[in-house]
């Protein structure tokens, strides 16, 4: 059944990327006006949030004016020409420092190379307003660093935005640009998306080319953070274009992701696992996600309760994570260890104790989990879980204060397994706690099923937004 359309926003900082492009095409808004509004929002809001480590208004306005001229001449460059975007300070970006949240990387440069992500954004004509904060070398699930300090959650600035793409999530959630790009090696796109109440997508490994190669290797993905699944699909159409510098990149797709999200997914088989067989989620988080799953079942998904069948692969993840961190940090200059985040120092030291056989043993565990999931997906098209078992906790802490937890993976058990398996995983908003904090729902699909995951995410997004105001008796 259809539902009443909500009024479209007219303030550029509240508009999605799709809405901005529609306004440009209609002549009711220009890229310059949209960029000026985003820059004003950054000036007004980011002192409290700290989402950006670099903002370049002059360069952004030059790009916006060039885009405006293209729209006026009818020669638009790309899908999101003129849409303001931010990029996590992990991606190399020509003419901007890429310091990766580290005091050990100076701003001097020269910075002469665009990563594939930056190159595709630039080629599409998007307006790059700045770079977003990250913990040092993106090593943990919250966003603070000795270089940039603490990044806070726009929903409640006393809380963490999550991480490691917390700056990107906070920028989007805080109205400081409709889209951003982050990295995800253990949940780093999905965790902050869940905490900040937005959409975060980790596509199949290799779908978005990376350069330089990440030291976290097979764990490392890039992905968009947006306000809607449609914007995420459009961003993937841009970011997934080929780049010869990544030998692990996947072949180009034969269709567009945006074109696939509108398809009818009723009848798709979904397994709902609130615990994965070993997680103990916060009861309120579980209740919110379970309620959302019931809405989706009523709307046409065929939902069954089922766990995937693997045990917690945390030990294997820790080995691969520590080995990658140690490999990257070994190239840092003298004194880097003393200047590093104390938690990262511990990971570094652990990584230095590992042998090649330890890493290969961890890779074997990852392969077995992937085989288990492959078999699981012969029975179920998708897996649904909470994204994070807890809501956002106090900013400035690696773990919830008083929890007794030691490290960030202790509270991210739903995300890192699917970096080990390299599967696509999407976080969408599922609801809010009694304290008004967002809760995310995670949709996981088989490798290479990015289009299916996005299509179900779009279906779920529409159903969940409509559910409070209208009964569900058919397609959302």
Q: Please identify which residue in the block is written with the tokens 């989706």.
A: 296
**Region for 149 from its dihedrals, namely left if φ exceeds 0, alpha if ψ lies in -120 to 50, beta otherwise:** left
Judged by DSSP in three states, 368 sits in helix
CA 424 vs. chain centroid, Å, equals 11
- What whole-number distance in Å separates Cα of residue 389 and Cα of residue 312? 15
Torsion 28-32-38-40 (CA) sign: negative
Angle at 228 between CA 226 and CA 234, to 5 degrees: 75
| Main-chain dihedrals φ then ψ at residue 435, nearest 5 degrees | -90, 5
Active site annotation includes 168: no
CB 116 within 8 A of CB 246: yes
From the candidates 115, 164, 180, 194, which is the catalytic residue? 164
Query: Of 104, 165, 180, 188, which residue is the catalytic one?
Result: 188
Handedness of CA 401, 403, 405, 410 (dihedral sign): negative
What's the rounded Cα separation, in Å, for the pair 194 and 184? 13
In the residue annotation, 202 being an active-site residue is answered as: no
Strands 127-132 and 84-88, bridge-based pairing: parallel
CB atoms within 10 A of CB 403: 12
Strand partners, 271: 304, 383
H or E stretch covering 314:
helix 314-329
Q: Are strands 438-444 and 425-432 parallel, antiparallel or unpaired?
A: antiparallel
* 427 is a catalytic site residue: no
The two three-digit tokens of residue 313, written as one number: 């692969």
Give the active site residue among 30, 67, 86, 88. Answer: 88
- Catalytic positions: 88, 164, 188
């Amino acid at each position: 059944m259809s539902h009443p359309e909500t009024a479209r926003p007219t303030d550029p900082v509240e508009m999605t990327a799709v809405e901005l492009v529609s306004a440009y095409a209609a002549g009711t808004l220009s890229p310059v006006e949209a960029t000026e509004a985003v820059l004003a929002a950054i000036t007004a809001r980011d002192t409290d949030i700290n989402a950006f480590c670099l903002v370049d208004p002059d360069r952004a306005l030059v790009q916006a004016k060039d885009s405006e001229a293209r729209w006026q001449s009818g020669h638009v460059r790309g899908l999101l020409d003129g849409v303001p975007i931010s990029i996590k300070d992990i991606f190399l970006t020509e003419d901007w420092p890429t310091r990766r949240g580290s005091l050990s990387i100076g701003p001097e440069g020269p910075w002469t190379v665009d990563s594939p992500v930056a190159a595709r954004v630039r080629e599409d004509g998007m307006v790059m307003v700045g770079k977003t904060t990250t913990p040092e070398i993106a090593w943990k699930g919250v966003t603070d660093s000795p270089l940039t300090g603490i990044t806070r959650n726009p929903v409640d600035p006393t809380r963490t935005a999550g991480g490691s793409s917390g700056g990107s999530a906070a920028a989007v959630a805080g109205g400081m640009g409709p889209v951003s790009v982050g990295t995800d090696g253990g949940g780093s796109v999905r965790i902050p998306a869940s905490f900040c109440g937005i959409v975060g997508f980790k596509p199949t490994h290799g779908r978005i080319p990376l350069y330089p190669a990440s030291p976290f290797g097979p764990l490392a993905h890039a992905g968009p953070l947006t306000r809607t699944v449609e914007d995420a699909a459009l961003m993937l159409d841009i970011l997934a274009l080929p780049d010869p510098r990544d030998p692990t990149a996947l072949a180009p797709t034969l269709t567009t992701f945006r074109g696939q999200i509108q398809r009818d997914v009723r009848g798709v088989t979904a397994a709902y696992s609130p615990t994965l067989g070993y997680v103990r989620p916060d009861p309120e988080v579980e209740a919110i996600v379970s309620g959302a799953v019931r809405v989706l079942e009523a709307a046409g998904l065929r939902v069954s309760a089922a766990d995937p069948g693997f045990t917690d692969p945390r030990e294997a993840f820790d080995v691969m994570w520590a080995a990658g961190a140690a490999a990257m940090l070994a190239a840092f200059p003298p004194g880097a260890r003393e200047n590093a985040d104390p938690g990262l120092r511990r990971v570094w030291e652990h990584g230095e104790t590992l042998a090649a056989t330890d890493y290969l043993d961890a890779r074997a565990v990852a392969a077995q989990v992937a085989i288990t999931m492959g078999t699981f997906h012969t029975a179920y098209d998708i897996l649904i879980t909470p994204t994070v078992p807890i809501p956002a906790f106090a900013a400035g802490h690696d773990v919830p204060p008083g929890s007794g937890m030691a490290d960030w993976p202790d509270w991210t058990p739903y995300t890192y397994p699917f970096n080990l398996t390299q599967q696509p995983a999407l976080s969408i908003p599922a609801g809010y706690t009694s304290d008004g904090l967002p809760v995310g729902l995670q949709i996981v699909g088989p490798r290479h099923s990015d289009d299916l995951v996005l299509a179900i995410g779009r279906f779920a997004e529409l159903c969940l937004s409509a559910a409070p105001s209208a009964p569900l008796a058919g397609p959302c």
